[in-house]
């Protein structure tokens, strides 16, 4: 099994409506996002998928979130937790892979770091 990973980042604000503590107030993070692709077959050029393709798609999705208040996105239901952000990014990447004719099954996981030591990961079943 082969795995490849690319990274991107974005800065955004949010608050958690169902949390009691400092995170219930509006605050921001410099998010780091890691995208993992996985598969057993390489293409004719010996690659699972071109790093450039993955980086471009990840940057596109992160760019949509950059310098936004994530609570403005209904998909997060008022609580844009790192877990929900990871799932959102995964779903958006899956749609972009399909639209560009790439195998969406290569998409394996998305990790969202709120800080260097706090991360949530969404993994495809």
- Identify whether the C-beta of residue 5 lies closer than 8 Å to the C-beta of residue 48: no
* pLDDT score of 73: 95
Alpha carbon of 99 to those of 24, 50, 65, 96: distances in Å? 37, 16, 20, 5
Give Dmax (Cα) for the chain.
53
**Catalytic site residue from 67, 83, 92, 111:** 67
User: Residue 29 catalytic?
Assistant: no
- Identify whether the C-beta of residue 62 lies closer than 8 Å to the C-beta of residue 33: yes
**For residue 54, what are its two tokens?**
């993955």
pLDDT by residue for the chain (125 residues), tens only, comes to: 999 999 999 999 999 998 888 888 999 999 999 999 999 999 999 999 999 999 999 999 999 999 999 999 999 988 999 999 999 999 999 999 999 999 999 999 999 999 999 999 999 87
User: Residue 60 catalytic?
Assistant: no
């Amino acid at each position: 099994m082969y795995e490849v990973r690319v990274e991107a980042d974005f800065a955004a604000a949010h608050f958690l409506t169902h949390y009691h503590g400092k995170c219930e107030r509006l605050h921001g993070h410099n998010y780091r996002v890691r995208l993992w692709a996985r598969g057993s077959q390489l293409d004719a050029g010996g690659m699972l998928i071109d790093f450039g393709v993955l980086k471009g798609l990840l940057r596109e999705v992160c760019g949509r979130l950059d310098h936004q208040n994530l609570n403005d996105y209904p998909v997060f239901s008022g609580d844009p937790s790192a877990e929900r952000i990871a799932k959102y990014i995964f779903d958006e990447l899956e749609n972009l892979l399909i639209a560009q004719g790439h195998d969406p099954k290569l998409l394996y996981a998305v990790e969202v770091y709120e800080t260097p030591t706090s991360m949530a990961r969404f993994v495809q079943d």
